[in-house]
Amino acid sequence: MEPGAVILEDLLSLEEVAAIRNALRPLLDAAPFGTNSFVGRHTKRVFGLPAKTRALDHLLTHPRVLAELEALLGPMLLSTTVAVEIQPGETAQTLHTDGSAWPVPPGGGEFVANAIWALDDFTEANGATRFTSGVAEMPAGSVLLYPGSLPHGGGANVSEAPRLGVIVGYTAAWLRQQENFTLTCPPELARTMPERLQALLGYELYPPFVGHVDGRDPKELLR
């Protein structure tokens, strides 16, 4: 495995994988293919998952994943949630770093990290995530964790079946998230979610006052 990245195998049962796949299917069917080679002309992406399904809540808040990534980033927020279905015929994505989306000068440590959940077996042939040193093959139900400074990309799919994964990006809680979750998940929706998820979406203060509403912790809006 690429230094800096880690795979945790079998965090989801096959039943859980099947339930998540079923919830994502209609969303993926309705999603367009990408329109350039970076996002992939044979790849479908569905963003904004907390607003669209409750089937992923336990994955977004998985204690083992949160513990591993919080050890790297400290207090975190969700940054992006995207189902990525790489279909046969897709070419390899250019290697890139996720941290480069923010103009944070180098040398200050990691401030973003990703979890990629495998909902199919990830293989070299079907587009397993690539690193400089090779691909991250893993069985369905596993998760790949890596920091925002690590070059990576989706692989080419030369198999005959799609490769489905869910990328969950986290940021240090003082940083602006990629997705604007408090718009896609306004208080009336957020109130129906687990408390840990509410906090990860942004309904929690980063002490002493980042993210406040009228000087108060935004979680009070949900009471």
Ligand X SMILES: O=C(O)CCC(=O)C(=O)O
Q: In the complex, which residues of this chain contact ligand X (CB under 6 A)?
A: 84, 93, 116, 129, 152-154, 165
Give me the least distance between CB of 127 and ligand X, in Å please: 7
- Kindly give, in sequence order, each residue whose CB lies less than 8 Å from that of residue 99, ignoring residues fewer than 6 positions away: 110, 111, 112, 147, 148, 149
Give me the least distance between CB of 178 and ligand X, in Å please: 11
Give me the least distance between CB of 152 and ligand X, in Å please: 6
Give me the least distance between CB of 209 and ligand X, in Å please: 32
SS (HEC) of 148-202: CCCCEECCCCCCCCCEEEEEEEEEECCCCCCCCHHHHCCHHHHCCCCHHHHHHHC
Q: Is there a contact between 74 and 108 (Cβ–Cβ < 8 Å)?
A: no
Q: Looking at beta carbons only, is 164 or 175 nearer to ligand X?
A: 164
Total residues found in the chain within this entry: 223
SS (HEC) of 123-141: CCCCCCCEECCEECCECCC
Q: Looking at beta carbons only, is 61 or 80 nearer to ligand X?
A: 80
- Kindly give, in sequence order, each residue whose CB lies less than 8 Å from that of residue 212, ignoring residues fewer than 6 positions away: 205, 218
Q: Looking at beta carbons only, is 138 or 172 nearer to ligand X?
A: 138
Q: Is there a contact between 142 and 11 (Cβ–Cβ < 8 Å)?
A: yes
Q: Looking at beta carbons only, is 52 or 152 nearer to ligand X?
A: 152
Give me the least distance between CB of 153 and ligand X, in Å please: 5
Give me the least distance between CB of 165 and ligand X, in Å please: 5
Q: Is there a contact between 203 and 220 (Cβ–Cβ < 8 Å)?
A: no
Give the dihedral of Cα atoms 144, 146, 151, 152; nearest 10 deg. 10
The β-bridge partners of 81 are 168
Q: Looking at beta carbons only, is 48 or 74 nearer to ligand X?
A: 48
Q: Looking at beta carbons only, is 39 or 221 nearer to ligand X?
A: 39
